[in-house]
Amino acid sequence: MSAIQLSSPSASRVIPFLLDLARDPIVWLIALIFVVGAMTSQYYLTTLNLENLMRNVAVIGLLSLGMTVVLLTGRIDLSVAALMIFSIVVGVVVMTEIAPLIGSRWLVRGNTYAGPIVPVILIALTTGAAIGAINGIGVAYFKVASFIMTLVSLTALRGFNYVLTDGHPYYLKAPLYQWIGDSKFAGIPVSFLLFLLVLLVLIGFVNGTVRGGRFYAIGGNEKAALYAGINTRRYVVLAYVISGLCAAIAGIVFTARLKSVDAPLAAGYELTAIAIAVIGGTALSGGIGSPWRTLLGSVAFAAGLNLLAIWGVGTWYQNLAIGIVLIASVGLSKMSRKKSKS
């Protein structure tokens, strides 16, 4: 019996999926942006611009993916942007400190780091996960409101960034870094492929496994999850660790593109990440949303911002636009949810 049901051909799911997709307002929004972009600018659909767009999506998309997981549990992570820079700074600074100990001086010349990049990446990932764990433990075990906990992290990490770098930028010179930042694979930027990889892993975990489903349960009704015998605190910590890891990967992609890292970089990106998750349909109150929809959200967001830039709209107005979009999407999603309920 069950075998018949379970092996029911995937084709029968593809069609409803496509129908759902066609009914999704965000898909229409993306299409609209591209159509308007193509009509108003001859550069919009050029390969160069699209590659640029994909690289932008990679950075903010990675941040938003981590944010989505945290939001699913009904919490928030304001530290992602600061952490994304911090993890790279830690990686570089630790390596420059270690260099004299292992007797090699060639690692650093002035503010240029030319040593091996793989250890930097590993240290960055560890740092991301560790800070995420600290956030998570503070929120889950010490019951600090997530807003406060991660706001404190944000401020502290920003401060550490200056302390560790002494306020100077570091230049990063490494072939691997150049490859991540600039190269393409089958015509698609490597950084975007990296983002897609993380996306697939997260979709698999969050939407495909029982454990991933816990995030939805906790966000829907934490008490119910607790009463069902779920160790909710552990899952909250896990969500923050995922967010921290995503931030570190975003940091790698971001700094690989700039070939440098500097303390004040990526200020305000945490709001961008929240905006994207919400545009993708994630509920700030938790329990609703998915990594897949966050992909759509980040494409819509990056495409819109890219269009504004092409039109020559100033950065400050772009920030204003981010704010308006965030408020509008939260308001609209609340309203549509109410409607579908009644």
Partner 1 sequence: MGAPLLELKSIRKTFPGVVALADVTFDLKAGEVHALVGENGAGKSTLLSVMNGLTAPDSGEIRIQGQPVVLSGPTVALANRLALVHQELVLCPNLSVAENIFLGREPKARLGRGNRVALNRMAEDLLGEIHVNLDPARKVGELSLNEQQIVEICRALASRPRVLVFDEPTASLNDDQVGHLLGIIRKLKANGLGVIYVSHRLGEVLDISDRVTVLRDGHVVGTREIAGLHEAALVSLMVGREHKPGEAAYKERQYGAVALEVKAISKASVFDDVSLEVRAGEIVGIAGLLGCQREAVARSIFGAASIDRGEIRIRGKAVALRSPREAIRAGIGFMPADRKGEGLVLPMSVGDNLGMAILRRLGRFGLLKRRQKNATANELVRKLAIKVSGLFQLASQLSGGNQQKIVIGKWIARGGDIVIAEDPTRGVDVGAKFEIWCTIQGLADEGKAVLLLTTELQEMMDACDRILVMSRGRVTGHFDRKDFSAEAIAHCFVA
Q: Which is nearer to partner 1, 75 or 158 (CB)?
A: 75
Does residue 94 sit in helix, strand or coil? helix
Closest CA to 298 of 282, 314, 317: 282
Q: How many residues bind partner 1 (CB under 8 A)?
A: 28
Rounded to a whole number of angstroms, the minimum distance from the CB of residue 75 to partner 1 is 15
- 67 burial type by CB count under 10 A (0-12 exposed, 13-18 middle, 19+ buried): buried
Q: Which is nearer to partner 1, 175 or 229 (CB)?
A: 229
| Token code pair at residue 123 | 């240290």
Which 195-234 residues touch partner 1, going by CB under 8 A? 204, 207-210, 213, 216-217, 219-221, 223-231
Q: Which is nearer to partner 1, 272 or 294 (CB)?
A: 294
Closest CA to 304 of 82, 18, 40, 21: 40
Rg (CA), the chain: 21
Is 13 a binding residue for partner 1 by CB under 8 A? The answer is yes
Long-range contacts of 163-169 (CB under 8 A, 24+ apart): 164/89, 164/90, 164/93, 165/89, 165/93, 165/261, 165/262, 165/263, 167/263, 168/111, 168/262, 169/111, 169/260, 169/261, 169/262
The site map against partner 1 for 240-279 (x = CB under 8 A) is ----------------------------------------
Is 15 a binding residue for partner 1 by CB under 8 A? The answer is no
The site map against partner 1 for 55-84 (x = CB under 8 A) is ------------------------------
**How do the residues of the chain divide into helix, strand and coil, expressed in percent and rounded to 5?**
75, 5, 20
Rounded to a whole number of angstroms, the minimum distance from the CB of residue 28 to partner 1 is 25
- 34 burial type by CB count under 10 A (0-12 exposed, 13-18 middle, 19+ buried): middle
Q: Which is nearer to partner 1, 228 or 267 (CB)?
A: 228
CA–CA gap between residue 55 and residue 62 (Å, rounded): 11
Q: Which is nearer to partner 1, 171 or 205 (CB)?
A: 205
Q: Which is nearer to partner 1, 203 or 310 (CB)?
A: 203
Is 284 a binding residue for partner 1 by CB under 8 A? The answer is no
Q: Which is nearer to partner 1, 20 or 97 (CB)?
A: 20
Which positions lie near partner 1, rule CB under 8 A?
2, 5-6, 13, 204, 207-210, 213, 216-217, 219-221, 223-231, 287-288, 341-342
